[in-house]
């Protein structure tokens, strides 16, 4: 979809405009101290699906959720003593903590890509802080670049790859750190480094370098526990069919064939199919480019499991 991308220099008016857009379910580009992020309401699945549509990302990865402070983070993730110590030491700042997700926190399942853990960060940059406070929402934000392009450290970098694909870029000048946040997982009382970044975390276990290069992969993506059959136009006797468009099923990703809606519902329906009495899952064809390809990529991985 082609649209006009506005650029507004960071001030109260820019934050007010970005707030309206975020609350209307649109992603906006906003600077953080690491790189510019493409931020959307993490409680609104379709808003998060629009991040993927804008980036043209060929696959779903779990995203980092930004919150204004540790108290808000603790409403979404479960922090043990180790996680709280790290947060108190480094927040606000370029550290992301992966912790168990709190049930019922209201985070859309497309944000965590169906995982039982969540990546949380309290950014230091005044622009992202102001947007978090004005919207009152946790904000999911990957780097604000088209898929396969380098991370943006200036508003002009965002425009170079996302012009016409998002409604607004807040221009806060060059980012201070220039590389993405350090990611540390804190589960079962252990801290493990998942991505190197601006902060060194004492005591975090290091992973092999091949694992570090693909942090999204090592998160062992959510996959259903049952066999999954792709491109199904009808259900076998022992199958739970996830429909799409005209292919009706036990549930439908989007009766209207809307890909944003389908992406938004994907992980919820996979979980639903997993919990259903049928021992197998089938899913209708999802034709098309862009976000349809991201959905198919995700399903292919789940089917190969």
Distance in Å, CB of 57 to ligand TXA, minimum: 9
Q: Which residue has the tokens 């890909």?
A: 259
Q: Where are the alpha helices (DSSP H) in the chain?
A: 12-23, 45-55, 70-76, 81-90, 109-112, 126-135, 155-162, 209-212, 215-218, 259-275, 291-304
> What number of other Cβ atoms are within 10 A of residue 289's Cβ?
9
DSSP letter for each residue of 1-58: ---PPEEEESSHHHHHHHHHHHHTT--EEEE-SSSEEEEEETT-HHHHHHHHHHHT-S
Closer CB to ligand TXA, 158 or 295, in the complex: 158
Would you count residue 25 as binding ligand TXA (CB under 6 A)?
no
Give the integer Cα–Cα distance in Å for 71 and 54: 31
Work out which of 109, 112, 143, 161 binds Mg ion, going by CB under 5 A.
Answer: 143
CA gap 143, 95 in Å, rounded: 15
Candidate ranges 14-22, 71-79, 111-119, 130-138; the one touching ligand TXA (CB under 6 A): 111-119
110 binds ligand TXA (CB under 6 A): no
Q: Choose the binding region for ligand TXA from 82-90, 136-144, 236-244, 264-272 (rule: CB under 6 A).
A: 136-144
Among 98, 139, 193, 286, binds ligand TXA (CB under 6 A): 98
Residues 6+ apart with CB under 8 A from 84: 70
Total binding residues toward ligand TXA, as defined by CB under 6 A = 27
Q: Per-residue string for binding with ligand TXA, 214-253, x by CB under 6 A?
A: -xx--x----------------------------------
Of 135-143, 167-175, 255-263, 292-300, which part binds ligand TXA (CB under 6 A)?
A: 135-143
Under the binding rule (CB under 6 A), the answer on residue 68 touching ligand TXA is no
CA atoms within 13 A on the CB side of 112: 25
Residue of 96, 161, 175, 247 interacting with ligand TXA (CB under 6 A): 96
Q: Whose Cβ is closer to ligand TXA: residue 189's or residue 277's?
A: 189
Rounded Cα–Cα distance for residues 7 and 31 (Å) = 12
Residues near Mg ion (CB under 5 A) are 143
Residues near ligand TXA (CB under 6 A) are 32, 34-35, 37, 61-64, 96, 98, 112, 115, 117-119, 121, 141-143, 180-181, 183, 194-195, 215-216, 219
């Amino acid at each position: 979809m082609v649209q006009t991308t506005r650029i507004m220099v960071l001030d109260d008016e820019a934050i007010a405009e970005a707030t309206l857009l975020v609350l209307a379910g649109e992603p906006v580009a906003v600077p953080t101290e690491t790189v510019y992020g493409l931020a959307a309401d993490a409680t609104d699945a379709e808003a998060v699906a629009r991040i993927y549509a804008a980036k043209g990302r060929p696959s779903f990865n779990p995203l980092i959720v930004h919150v204004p402070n540790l108290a808000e983070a603790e409403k979404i993730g479960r922090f043990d003593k180790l996680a709280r110590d790290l947060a108190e030491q480094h927040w606000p700042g370029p550290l992301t903590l992966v912790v168990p997700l709190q049930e019922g926190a209201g985070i859309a399942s497309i944000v965590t890509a169906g995982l039982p853990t969540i990546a949380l960060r309290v950014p230091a940059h005044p622009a992202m802080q102001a947007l978090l406070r004005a919207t009152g929402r946790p904000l999911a934000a990957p780097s604000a670049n088209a898929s396969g392009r380098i991370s943006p450290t200036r508003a002009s970098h965002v425009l170079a790859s996302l012009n016409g694909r998002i409604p607004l870029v807040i221009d806060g000048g060059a980012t201070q750190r220039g590389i993405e946040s350090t990611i540390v997982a804190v589960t079962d009382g252990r801290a493990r480094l998942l991505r190197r970044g601006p902060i060194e975390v004492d005591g975090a276990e290091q992973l092999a370098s091949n694992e570090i290069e693909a942090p999204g992969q090592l998160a062992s993506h959510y996959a259903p526990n049952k066999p999954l059959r792709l491109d199904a136009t009808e259900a076998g006797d022992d199958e739970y069919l996830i429909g799409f468009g005209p292919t009706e099923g036990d549930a439908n990703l989007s009766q209207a064939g809307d890909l944003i809606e389908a992406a938004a519902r994907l992980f919820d329906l996979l979980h639903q199919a997993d919990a259903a009495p049928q021992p197998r899952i089938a899913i209708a064809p999802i034709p098309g480019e862009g976000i349809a390809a991201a959905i198919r990529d995700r399903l292919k991985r789940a089917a190969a499991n």
